[in-house]
Amino acid sequence: MKSKTTRRILATATAAAALVLTSCGSSANPSSETAGAEGELTAVTISIPPSVFAAPMHLGLSEGIFEKHGFDVTLQPGTSMAEMMPLLMNGESQYIFADLHNTVIAKEEGMPIAVGAPNGVNAQTEPQEKGFANLMVAEDSGIDQLKDLEGKKIGTNSINGQAQLDNMSYLESKGVDVSDIQWIAVPTQQAVAGLKQGQYDAITIAEPGGSGALLGGGVKLIGSADAAIPGAPMFVLAAQESYLQEDPERASRFQQAMIEANKLTNTDREAVEKSLGSFMDLPEEVIAATVLPGFSEAPFEAASAEPVIERLKAQGILPQDSTPDLDALFPVK
């Protein structure tokens, strides 16, 4: 059965979105009209968090990729999927940043959403040194290998969130018994301080937080969950099903714009660092040390989500007998 935390997050998003849908009716896409006169751009708003996962969207805007594909894009700050979902439902945003597993859960809960474009993807192989999704411990903890985490407390940004699930998969793949690990929800900005104070034994910490922590001293890297489910989709831009269906050509064109922006993010480090400095308040040395996740250079295919679904079932977050419609989840070709 679903965890209380997952149900609470989705209930908040579902209730808010339901109120929006009730008040707005079916015409919830004020900027959904395709370009009229030749050369006219289609207005699109994307809600994104201030994280490295937003780099392709910022580069797509600054480098003219969206405009080249016929879009006038506005980037709207957001934090959680629960906060951004009502914006999606009332048409204030046409796309929102979302982790795939919560997109699956929300769709199973009856939310009319689907994947509009790919974003982050799990690595194919584990990094030899620091990766993007890291596990860290205090330098003086006496914890030197992953097996030492058995029976310990690990701080993570949310229970049953992407970081916890990826690190559980990673630890299990290394032969660690995760059954008696205690996972503690810790705000990202407090994680390193709590680790140093001994409030927990390890933390999951994504970039650029990991690089900042290492540069600050007092912590050490013990592993990286970058390839928790090798090659599996991790994060997406989600949209209303109706928005994607009403103009498949527009939806496909937007996805191609995002893929081009993803490719640029994967290959132009100088542009990425300049972009990160424009929307994240980070010291230059942290930006230079930051390891980026991989961004998908092809549309996510329905079959690629199957390992994500199986993990949700294995963790009891989705019922064992659930059969998500993956073709409906990935409608853009």
Instruction: Please say whether the structural domain 133-224 has been given the CATH code 3.40.50.1580.
Output: no
Lowest mean pLDDT among 15-19, 145-149, 181-185: 15-19
pLDDT band at 80 (very low <50, low <70, confident <90, very high): confident
More confident residue, 91 or 24: 91
Euclidean distance between CA atoms 158 and 154, whole angstroms: 11
Answer whether residue 21 shows pLDDT above 50.
no
Residue spans of the domains in the chain: they are 4-122+231-329, 133-224
Helices (H), the chain: 4-24, 55-62, 65-68, 81-89, 100-108, 162-173, 188-196, 209-216, 241-246, 248-267, 269-279, 284-289, 306-314, 326-329
CA of 196: how far to CAs of 9, 77, 156, in Å?
A: 29, 31, 15
- The pLDDT of 61-83, averaged and rounded, is 95
Answer whether residue 73 shows pLDDT above 70.
yes
Note the pLDDT of residue 39: 73
- Average pLDDT of the residues of the chain: 90
| Domain covering 4-122+231-329, topology | D-Maltodextrin-Binding Protein; domain 2 (3.40.190)
Note the pLDDT of residue 280: 93
Length of the chain measured in residues: 333
Euclidean distance between CA atoms 176 and 193, whole angstroms: 26
Amino acid at 71: F
**What percentage of the chain carries pLDDT values higher than 90?**
85
Name every residue whose Cβ is closer than 8 Å to that of residue 145 and which is 6 or more positions away in sequence. Answer: 222
Note the pLDDT of residue 3: 43
Report the interhelical angle of 81-89 vs 4-24 (nearest 10°). 20
Note the pLDDT of residue 79: 84
Answer whether residue 94 shows pLDDT above 90.
yes
- The pLDDT of 138-145, averaged and rounded, is 96
pLDDT band at 7 (very low <50, low <70, confident <90, very high): very low
Q: Is 253 helix (H, G, I), strand (E, B) or coil?
A: helix
4-122+231-329 matches 133-224 in fold: yes
Note the pLDDT of residue 303: 94
Answer whether residue 326 shows pLDDT above 50.
yes
- The pLDDT of 121-132, averaged and rounded, is 95
Note the pLDDT of residue 82: 87
Lowest mean pLDDT among 13-17, 69-73, 224-228, 260-264: 13-17
- Two structure tokens written together for 113: 């959403």
Note the pLDDT of residue 38: 58
More confident residue, 18 or 87: 87
- The pLDDT of 185-212, averaged and rounded, is 96
DSSP notation for 14-37: HHHHHHHHHHHTT---TT-PPP-S
Euclidean distance between CA atoms 305 and 104, whole angstroms: 9
